[in-house]
A = this chain, B = another copy of it.
Amino acid sequence: MQGYDKYAFEPFAVTVDLAVLTIRAGRLQVLLVERGQEPYAGRWALPGGFVLPDESAETAARRELAEETGLADVSGLHLEQLRTYSEPDRDPRMRVVSVAYTALLPDAPEPRGGGDAASARWLPYDGPGPLAFDHDRILADAHHRVGAKLEYSCLATAFCPPEFTLGELQRVYETVWGTELDRPNFRRKVLATSGFVEAVPGAARLTGGRGKPAALYRAGPATALHPPLLRPSREGRPS
């Protein structure tokens, strides 16, 4: 790798794939597009596209995210590189190396198909059978990563609107992990972690609630949880 001219190399197409996750109707949902052409015509796929000549993968991912969600301002959303998939046969048409990103959205409006792709839609994480290409694996990796990061980072607030209740925050953990948490213990842990959330000055929330109105919180300045908030029981958090 000292002088490129001395070495032959094959040029690859480089794309980004997006695993965009949100919580709607109490379920973990994914943004998917339906493929209209072969291969995998009719299958659901993760949104994505080519990295343009003057873009970094990160820039391309954020551009695609804006196009596929139709959101005007996508700058505040959590976007994080997941990993790169480069198996030679992952796309039957040509050699494509794909840099996968995970994005987390709070409220999740139904996407208006304002981009180049066919209309993207929210679908339940466990819902639609096998995805196109290796997207099942990418999506599973994204879910695994997000579940793990909930334990030791403040990532959960990325699923919440700017102001949220501790009940909503707890539902994020429960939905992603697929477990139930003890409410008093969850409150105690979150409030004891300085910088995780901070109370909104003078507010409570009543409108839609069926029970006692809950206090509102905002995401705090912290990014890491010390000590972590471990998921209950079951052993094994590989990789």
Contact = CB atoms under 8 A, between A and B. Distances in A.
Interface string A130-161: 00000000000000000000001100000000
Q: Is the interface of A mostly helix, strand, loop or mixed?
A: loop
A25 interface: no
Contact of A11 (B13, B48, B88, B227): B13
A185 interface: no
A158 to B, nearest CB: 13
A14 B15 contact: no
B99 A35 contact: no
Nearest to A91: B4
In the A-B complex, list the 4 residue pairs whose CB atoms are closest, starting with the nearest: A11-B11, A9-B50, A57-B86, A10-B53
Given A1-B49, A12-B51, 14 more contacts: A2-B118, A4-B13, A4-B94, A9-B50, A9-B51, A9-B52, A10-B53, A58-B86, A83-B84, A97-B97, A152-B237, A153-B239, A223-B238, A226-B237
Interface of A: 1-4, 7, 9-15, 35-37, 45, 47-58, 81, 83-84, 86-88, 93-95, 97, 99, 117-118, 152-153, 223-224, 226-228, 230, 235-239
